[in-house]
Amino acid sequence: FDSALRSIVVIALHMRPLRSAEATRRMKGVGSNFYDLLKESVAGSKSKKPFEPKKGKFTCVAAAALVGLLEMEERVQRDAARVASANGNDDATSSFPMEDLIVSINSLLDSRANANLSQTAQQYLNKDNLDPGWGQVKKLCYTNAASDLGGPFMKERKRKGACSSGRVFELLDSGRSLATKLRTLAQSGPFEPGPLRQLPDESVDQEFGNVTMSMDFREGGGGGRSLHKMCDQLDIRGVPYVVRELKIADYIFFVGEKLAPVLIERKTADDVAGSLHDGRWERQQRCMRKAQYVLGGGSARRCQICYIIEGDASKRTVHGGNVGRRTWFQSVDDVENAIEKLPSLGFSVMRSKSTLDTIGILAKVAQDVSWKVNNGNIDVMYSYEQFLSRVKKLGEDKGEPPTDRAHQNPAPPVVVNTNFMSSTANAATAAAAAASSTRDDDATFSPQRSNSPGGFGSDDDAPQQTNNAEKVAELKKLSMARLKEMLKERDEKTGGKKEELISRLLKPRKPELLILRARRKEYVPKVPSSNAAIMVALLLNHIPGTQGLTKERLMVLAEETGVSKESMSGDGSSFYDGWSGMKQLQEGDPALVRREKGHRYSLTTQPPESAGVAVANALHILAHREDMCTCGNPPNGV
């Protein structure tokens, strides 16, 4: 009951329209049970016209109480201005009887909402009275109940001689400010039809500037599937966005009211297979190229058209080896070949592991658009209506693939995590590695990568290759049992052929802290893994001694590290949950991660030599050695 009351107050005081139950999900103070109730209620009334309160009226007691007190205060101040004290705190003008407040609340409530306070003041004062209407008024008075909203908003005082109830109420400065805004909204009448979802925050980070991303309402399968989950992630990142119906592309970017020259289409591996099957693949590309012609200055085509390809086609196969559905008759090769042709057709391609990864890419694109606008690198000329009008007037020839090489193989809007590869690329890499391992010569054990400008064949690599050759010769003389002992001492895997064992021994030794923990039978997160990604994310983004990170924010940051083997939220083909290992991180003495009040998380710091911070730093070093971490700031020891 108490949680439901709080949820009602939070929604009643929200300053923006809520056009779906899912829009309340990210609102602090709205409980999960109340959200489920809202969702069920909305689902049962799809054929009904949305309820709109009369102009100047409210449907919730909480909002009516604040505005009612404000109007009572203004009325008394007008009538008794000559007796008001200099500081404005005279009880005669600022405190009002409970009975009068009830009357004022009822006068501001829309009668169709059935929310009127129908009991007497004495009945509401009964401690066993659980009336939800008066309960909202009490929530506005309690510091703990309203602190997250900027409250308390009013104060309740006991004053026996003031009225029969002995209770008077006073509007505080925070309540006065909120009441003024609520009254203005109510007097302006019902909201015009608008976006299904939008960022609930009233302000945005400076890095997004005046940019707003608009996404198609059919994204993620629409409101009945993953659309609202995607919106939740945009809320967490603070990306300014709206959800509307888009005629061209899945994502477009506005600078004020004008459209930026960036168009993005998002496709999962399943989507690509389905589009190839029904012909949408080529039709959408033709529309995108026509749109590029309009936004990009005609034949100059200074508009970026891009595909975000989400997921791995090899993980989306069904019986028979086809991707998505058997009846689409699209193999993994068909899907990958279609994607590989996109650059020659004028599209840039960005690969993502999952929806969570995609949201991160979109956030970076929005920031990039803002930066380019501020630096004069792009021009914005058309409103959305003007843009659509001009696209409709174009001939079909403007949608043909480019023949000018200057318009082929374009660069993507932002650089994405290059560690993600399709299964086809992975298979090719694995085959090459297998072929290499079968050769019984010293070249098998050459360095994995060279950072020198000359690459593998440069003179700078010659001493290293010679040194490796000598080590390989020495290690080949040892027995398999001895090699396994050496690997076990380094906490490395001991399985495989002799060449594989030797290859592992040639790698740099793990940080000693990780080896020591393994010897003590203490938990050591593997690299790559979701737990390693969480710890590296905490190391890079949290300052010890400050408030910890929330689960939602931490999942996003862990995804961005590139240290997780799978996407933190799965790739849609399984129920993988990157958070499932958090319990393991909180066990042990000392634990690696601690949970703080408010379900926030941080690395442990004591004792310094074995706490979570030290282990996370060791994992960070290992992640850079394996070329996984995307932070761009290699730690000492790499």
The residue among 211, 208, 188, 248 whose CA lies nearest residue 56 is 188
Percent of the chain with pLDDT over 90: 55
Q: What is the pLDDT of residues 204-223, one digit of tens each?
A: 888 999 999 999 999 887 76
Report pLDDT for 44: 63
Element (H, E) at 633: none
Report pLDDT for 45: 58
Q: What is the pLDDT of residues 345-396, one digit of tens each?
A: 999 999 998 888 899 999 999 999 999 999 999 989 999 999 999 999 999 9
pLDDT confidence tier of residue 232, bands split at 50, 70 and 90: confident
Q: What is the pLDDT of residues 293-308, one digit of tens each?
A: 999 999 999 999 999 9
Residue 41 confidence (pLDDT) above 90? no
pLDDT confidence tier of residue 415, bands split at 50, 70 and 90: confident
Q: What is the pLDDT of residues 462-511, one digit of tens each?
A: 555 567 788 888 999 999 999 999 999 999 999 999 999 999 999 999 99
Alpha carbon of residue 220 to chain centroid: 14
Q: Are 290 and 394 in contact (CB under 8 A)?
A: yes
Q: Are 271 and 328 in contact (CB under 8 A)?
A: no
Report pLDDT for 411: 93
**Dist CA 548 CA 598 (whole Å):** 9
pLDDT confidence tier of residue 429, bands split at 50, 70 and 90: very low
Taken in order 445, 449, 453, 454, the sign of the CA dihedral is positive
Mean pLDDT in residue range 614-638? 91
> The tokens of 262 are what?
């960036």
**Dist CA 233 CA 556 (whole Å):** 8
pTM of the model: 0.68
Dihedral class, residue 298 (left if φ above 0, else alpha if ψ from -120 to 50, else beta): left
Q: What is the pLDDT of residues 556-598, one digit of tens each?
A: 899 889 898 888 876 555 556 788 899 999 998 899 999 998 8
Mean pLDDT in residue range 260-289? 95
Please tell me which residue, 26 or 381, carries the higher pLDDT value: 381
Percent of the chain with pLDDT over 70: 86
Residue 451 confidence (pLDDT) above 50? no
Mean pLDDT score of the chain, rounded to an integer? 85
Q: Are 346 and 408 in contact (CB under 8 A)?
A: yes
Residue 447 CB neighbours (<10 A): 13
**Dist CA 206 CA 431 (whole Å):** 47
Taken in order 113, 118, 121, 125, the sign of the CA dihedral is negative
Report pLDDT for 268: 92
Measured CA angle at 144 (ends 143, 147), to 5 deg? 70
pLDDT confidence tier of residue 83, bands split at 50, 70 and 90: low
Q: Where are the alpha helices (DSSP H) in 217-354?
A: 227-237, 269-278, 280-295, 332-341
Alpha carbon of residue 579 to chain centroid: 15
Residue 424 confidence (pLDDT) above 80? no
Q: What is the pLDDT of residues 511-545, one digit of tens each?
A: 999 999 999 999 999 999 999 999 999 999 999 99
Report pLDDT for 569: 76
Report pLDDT for 304: 96
Report pLDDT for 433: 39
CA distances from 186 to 64, 101, 179, 496 (A): 10, 19, 10, 72
Q: What is the pLDDT of residues 433-446, one digit of tens each?
A: 333 343 344 444 44
